[in-house]
Chains A and B, each alone.
Chain A
Amino acid sequence: MSPDRLLIRDGEADTAVIAEYERSRRELVRRGMVAAGAVLAASTVPLLVRVRNAFAQADDDAAILRAAIEIEQAAVEAYQRSQAQLGGVARLFRNQERQHLELLTASLRQMGGTPPSPDVASQLKGLAGAGGRRDRALFAVELENAAVRAYEDAHRSLRDARLMQVATSILGNEAQHLVVLRQIAGREPVPSAFERGRG
């Protein structure tokens, strides 16, 4: 799915969203993602922008939970479809993302909310283009980076202290995933004292 189609379908094709898409794309290019594979970059950007926008627009705890659930749904699907490339790592991480998903969903339902059901599979269509182990790890790095940024942002706005603790404990796990995936991708596993989901 092209970024344009995603944005228009979501009815969010305003200038801010397009600017954010451009900013994200430039950031990926700057980090050499396109050099690693144009298909890879093109396939991750729409999802990452969507996730970013979902968190930016969330104005209460339930909205933040729904955005977090979308990330976890995408991560479960991405790891489910990466078992051939990443083996046991993909299975372990898929199972952990499922646990995040289950807890977040239960929390949202407890608040009277309904979990979203986005078309995750179509958002990850480009995943097939990242066929090798390293490319697949890089794709997952971008997903995990987006999750880390989102959960850190959530710490600014979550009102419920217990939900914030859930977010912190999930953030820690996503940050650990980054360590493993960066190693697979040949990157420095813990490049900074402050993990902000940018490496």
Chain B
Amino acid sequence: MHRRRFFHVAGLGAATLLVACGEENKGQGPIAGEKAQESAPEPAESDVADVNVLNSALDLEHQAVAAYTAAMKVLRGENLRAARTLRDQERAHVQALSRAIQRLGGRPNQAQRDYRFPRLRTEDEVLRFAIRLENTAISAYIDALPQLNSADLRAEGAAIVANEAQHLAVLNGALRERAAPTAFVTGEAAR
């Protein structure tokens, strides 16, 4: 179901994946003294699921690092400084997600050798493309966070998506548009 439509219908947020997930295990293991239900995922299985979710996010972070690096060839002055900061913060996300995946026993996805970005000639075009990428990342995180079994990982992911929303504010400001244009940051513009 389309998230925006669900907002209107139910007054709540939702996404296709989550309708299927429902009340899934969120890292709340069996109560002490109780026998675990057979349907409950083994820790290793939930870790594998978390690794998959984190690797999907990691792919987007790699792409963002590459995009900001490319953007820095076009941007100048204050916009160039902002792009460098945002690129460095995306790198920090890459490192954090990679460490989290390794802690779970997984293998972090590596960056692609090269990324195909559209040819962008003006600063406005670059900034608007960056906004699209940030919206895509936000949308993906909103879908992904409820799927994570680990409460700590959900909180960490929330801190990252909050930062991505701030990147949007910076990019909007660079375009002399409203930094925080909507009350709900959904990445909706990316869809």
Contacts and interface: CB of A to CB of B under 8 A. Distances in A.
A96 interface: yes
A171 B158 contact: yes
Contacts, number: 164
B142 interface: yes
Contact of B183 (A95, A107, A160): A95
Contact of A168 (B86, B158, B163, B179): B158
A178 B168 CA distance: 12
B91 to A, nearest CB: 8
B89 interface: yes
A98 to B, nearest CB: 8
Interface in A102-160: 103, 106-107, 110, 148, 151-153, 155-157, 159-160
Interface in B138-182: 138, 141-143, 145-146, 151-152, 154-170, 173, 178-180, 182
A157 B146 contact: no
Given A106-B11, A164-B145, A195-B159, A172 B185 contact: yes
A190 B167 contact: yes
A170 B184 contact: yes
B146 A99 contact: no
Interface string B1-27: 001001000111111001001111010
Contact of A193 (B11, B88, B146, B152): B88
A195 B151 CA distance: 17
Contacts of B141: 168
B170 A190 contact: yes
A176 B163 contact: no
Contacts of A169: 13, 142, 184-186
A173 B10 contact: no
B151 A156 contact: yes
Interface residues of A, number: 47
Contacts of B190: none
Secondary structure type dominating chain A contacts: helix
Contacts of A157: 151
B16 to A, nearest CB: 11
A100 interface: yes
Contact of A92 (B85, B180, B185): B180
B93 interface: yes
A176 B180 contact: yes
A15 interface: no
B167 A162 contact: no
Given A103-B11, A162-B10, A164-B145, A171 B169 contact: no
A163 interface: yes
B155 A180 contact: no
B13 A195 contact: no
Which of B26, B146, B179, B182 has the largest count of A CB atoms less than 10 A from its CB? B146
A168 B161 contact: yes
A173 B183 contact: yes
B177 to A, nearest CB: 12
Contacts of A16: none
A100 to B, nearest CB: 6
- List 3 A-B pairs, minimum CB-CB distance, nearest first: A172-B185, A172-B165, A165-B13
Interface of B: 3, 6, 10-15, 18, 21-24, 26, 85-86, 88-90, 92-93, 96, 138, 141-143, 145-146, 151-152, 154-170, 173, 178-180, 182-186
